[in-house]
Structure 1
Amino acid sequence: MTTMTGAHHSATRAQGPAARALRGALLVPLVATFLVPAQSASAAQPASAAQPATVVQPEAETAPIESAVDQIVVDVPAVEASGDLSAEGTTPEPSPTTGDDVAAEVVADETTADGLLETPVVETDEFALLGVTWPDGDDVTALAPEVRVRTDGEWSEWIAVEPADDGPDAGTADAASSVRGGSEPVWVPGADAVQARFAATETGGPEDLRVELVQPGEGTSEASVTTSSGAGDAVVTTAGYRTGAATTAAASGALLAASSSAPQPSIVSRAGWGADESLRTYNAGCGTPEYSSGLVGAVVHHTANDNSSYGSPEQARALLRSIYAYHVRSRGWCDIGYNFVVDRWGYIYEGRAGGIDRPVKGVHAGGFNTGTVGVSMLGEFTSVGPSNEQRDAVARVIAWRLGAYGAAPQGRMQYHTLGGENSRFPAGTTVDLPVVFGHRDTAFTACPGNMGYAALDGIRARAQSLTSYTALIQALYTDLLGRGADPSGLQTWGEQLARGVSQSQLVATLTWSDEYIDRRVVQAYQTVLGRAPEPGGADHWRRVVRAGVVALDDVPRYLMASPEMYAKGGGTDRGFVNVMYEQVLGRPAGAPEQAYWADQIPRAGREVVLTGIWVSYESARRRAAVYYRTFLGRDPDPSGLETWTMILMGQGESAVRTGIAGSQEYLDRARSRF
Structure 2
Amino acid sequence: MRTEAGGARAPRGRRAKIWLAAGTVLVAGTGAVVALRATSDTGTAAEGPQVVHTSVDSLDLTGSAGERALAARSTKAFRMLAVSWQDPGVRLDGTVRVRTRSSATGTWSDWQALGAGDAQPDPAERDRAGVRGGTAPLWAGPSDGVQVKADGKTLPKGLTVDLVDPGKGGSTTPAMDAAAYAMPVDGEETPTDQPTDPETTSAPEQTPSDDPAESTPAPTGSATETPAENTPTAEPSQSQSTDAGTTAPASPTAPTSTAPPTSASPTAPGYLPSLSAAYPSCASASAVPQTMPSPLPAQPPATKVPAPPFVTRASWGADECARDTGYPDYGRTVKAVFVHHTDTTNTYSCADSPSIVRSLYALHLHQGWRDLGYNFLVDKCGTIFEGRFGGAAMPVIGAQTYGFNTDSMGIAAIGTYTDLTGGDSKASTIVGATPSQAMVTAISRIAAWKLGMSGVSPTGTSSLTEGAKDSYGFTFSKAYTMNAVSGHRNGFATDCPGNQLYAKLDTVRSYAAGPPAGVGVTSVDTPSGAVRSGTGYVTGTTATVRWSTSTPTSLLSGAEVLVDGTSVAKVAGTTTSAPVKLTSGRHTVQVRATHVSGKTTTSAAVTVTADTTRPTYPTAPTVQLGKGTVNTAGVPVTVNWKAADDNGLRSQAATSPAATTLTATSTSWSTTAKSATATKFGLTATDLAGNTATASVTGTATLVQESSAKATGTWTKRSSSSYLGGYSSSSGTKNASLTWTFKGRSVAWIASRASTSGAVQIYVDGTLQTTVDLKSATTAYRQAMWTKSWSGAAQHTLKIVVVGTSGRPTVTTDGIAVLN
The alpha-carbon distance between structure 1 residues 200 and 304, as it changes in their structure 2 partners (threshold 3 A), is closer
Distance 2:404 2:385 in 1: 21
- Asked if 1:303 corresponds to 2:342, the answer is yes
**Residues 415, 131 of structure 1: alpha-carbon distance in 2 compared, 3 angstrom cutoff:** same
Per the TM alignment, residue 221 of structure 1 is displaced from its structure 2 partner at its CA by 3.1
After TM superposition, give the deviation of residue 258 of structure 1 in Å.
Answer: 2.5
Q: Does 1:158 align with 2:111?
A: yes
Contact 2:92 2:155 in 1 (8 A): no
The question of whether the paired residues in 2 share the 8 Å contact of 1:231 and 1:353 is answered with no
C-alpha separation in 2, matches of 1:374 and 1:392: 16
For 2:360, what is the secondary structure of its paired residue?
helix
In 2, distance between residues paired with 1:178 and 1:466?
Answer: 48
The answer for the alignment partner of 2:139 in structure 1 is: 187
Q: By how many angstroms is 1:229 displaced?
A: 7.2
**Contact 2:95 2:152 (C-alpha < 8 Å) held by counterparts:** no
CA contact (8 A) 2:62 2:68 kept: no
1:521-566 per-residue CA deviation (whole Å, 9 max, x = no partner) reads: xxxxxxxxxxxxxxxxxxxxxxxxx997x98xxxxxxxxxxxxxxx
1:196 aligned residue? 148
1:288 to 2:344 alignment: no
Residue 316 of structure 1 corresponds to: 353
Per-residue displacement from partner, 1:44-80 (whole Å, max 9, x unpaired)?
xxxxxxxxxxxxxxxx97321000111112233236x
Q: 1:444 to 1:512 in 2, by over 3 A?
A: closer
Deviation at 1:662, TM superposition (A): 6.8
Query: In the alignment, is residue 221 of structure 1 matched against residue 166 of structure 2?
Result: no
State whether residues 67 and 322 of structure 1, in contact with CA within 8 Å, keep that contact through their aligned partners in structure 2.
Answer: yes
Distance 1:255 1:74, change over 3 A: same
Partner of 1:346: 382
Q: Secondary structure at the match of 1:119?
A: strand
Q: 1:409 is matched with which residue?
A: 458
Q: Which residue of 2 aligns with 1:261?
A: 304
Name the CA distance, whole Å, in 2 between partners of 1:506 and 1:228.
38
Q: Is the 8 A contact 1:366 1:420 kept in 2?
A: no
Bigger CA drift: 417-426 or 352-361?
417-426
Question: Does residue 505 of structure 1 match 2:492?
Answer: no
- Give the structure 1 partner of residue 86 of structure 2: 135
- The 5-angstrom pairing of residues 265-664 of structure 1 reads 265-281=308-324, 286-308=325-347, 310-311=348-349, 313-328=350-365, 330-382=366-418, 383=420, 384-419=433-468, 422-465=471-514, 497-498=553-554, 503-505=559-561, 511-512=568-569
Summarize the Cα distance change of 1:135–1:220 in structure 2 as closer, same or farther, 3 Å threshold.
Answer: closer
Paired residues in the alignment total: 396
Distance 1:194 1:448 in 2: 27
The within-5 A match list for 1:13-32 is: none
- Give the partner amino acid of 1:504: E
1:181-215 superposed Cα distances (whole Å, 9 cap, x missing partner): 111111111111111112264x6651x32111100
Q: CA deviation at 1:397?
A: 0.8
Q: Does structure 2 retain, via aligned residues, the 8 Å contact 1:305–1:379? A: yes
Q: Which residue of 2 aligns with 1:71?
A: 58
Residues 669 and 461 (structure 1), Cα distance of their counterparts in 2 relative to 1, 3 Å cut: closer
SS of residue paired to 2:148: strand
CA contact (8 A) 1:146 1:196 kept: yes
Structure 2 Cα separation of the partners of residues 260 and 368 of structure 1: 24
Distance change >3 Å, CA 180–CA 451, structure 1 → 2: same
- Kept in 2, the 8 Å contact 1:403–1:467? The answer is no
Judge which range, 62-71 or 216-225, deviates more.
216-225
Letter of the 1:323 counterpart = L
Q: Which amino acid aligns with 1:224?
A: P
Q: Distance in 1 between matches of 2:59 and 2:302?
A: 47
Contact 1:61–1:222 under 8 Å retained in 2: no
The SS at the match of 2:560 is helix
**CA offsets per residue over residues 369-421 of structure 1, 9 Å max, x none?**
11012111111111232100100110011101100110100001222212266
Give deviations 1:329-382, integer Å, cap 9, x for gaps. x21111111111111111111111111111111000001111012111111111
Gaps of 5+ in 2: 1-46, 185-205, 213-294, 421-432, 518-550, 572-578, 602-820
Against the structure 1 CA distance between its residues 669 and 399, is the aligned structure 2 distance closer, same or farther, given a 3 Å change threshold?
closer
Q: Secondary structure at the match of 2:450?
A: helix
Does the residue aligned with 1:301 lie in a helix, a strand or coil? strand
- Is the partner of 1:130 in helix, strand or coil? strand
- Answer yes or no: is the 8 Å Cα contact 1:228–1:357 preserved in 2: no
Structure 2 CA distance for aligned equivalents of residues 212 and 133 of structure 1: 7
User: Structure 1 residue 457: deviation in Å?
Assistant: 0.4
Given the superposition, is the C-alpha separation of residues 71 and 232 from structure 1 closer, same or farther in structure 2, using an over 3 Å criterion?
farther
- Quickly say closer, same or farther: Cα 1:381–1:238, change in 2 above 3 A: farther
The Cα offsets for residues 281-332 of structure 1, whole Å up to 9 and x where unpaired, read as: 3xxxx53221111111100011112112x11x3201111100000001x211
Return the alpha-carbon distance in structure 2 between the equivalents of residues 433 and 496 of structure 1. 25
TM-score using structure 2 length: 0.44
Q: CA deviation at 1:272?
A: 1.5
SS of the residue 2:455 aligns to = coil
Distance 1:159 1:547 in 2: 59
Listed one character per residue, the Cα deviations across residues 214-244 of structure 1 (whole Å, up to 9, x for unaligned) are: 0000124384322457468999845679xxx
The answer to whether the Cα contact below 8 Å between 1:228 and 1:356 also exists between their aligned partners in 2 is no
Q: Compute the TM-score of the two structures, normalised by the length of structure 1.
A: 0.53
Larger RCO (CA within 8 A; separation ≥ 6): 1
Query: 1:273: Cα distance to partner?
Result: 1.1
1:348/1:146 Cα in 2 relative to 1: closer, same or farther (>3 Å)? same
Output the CA distance in 2 between the equivalents of 1:70 and 1:236: 43
The aligned residue for residue 167 of structure 1 is 120
The structure-2 alpha-carbon separation of the partners of 1:464 and 1:300, relative to structure 1 and needing over 3 Å to count, comes to same
**1:143 offset after TM fit, Å?**
4.5
Q: CA RMSD in A?
A: 3.9
Whole-Å separation in 1 of the counterparts to 2:398 and 2:460: 22
Aligned residue in 1 for 2:607: none
Out of 160, 172, 181, which is 1:210 matched to? 160
C-alpha contact 2:174 2:384 (8 A) present in aligned 1: no
Which of 155, 176, 191 is the aligned partner of 2:128?
Answer: 176
Bigger helix fraction? 1
Change (3 A) 1:371 1:509: farther
Cα distance change on mapping 1:200 and 1:232 into 2, 3 Å: same
Structure with max Cα Rg: 2
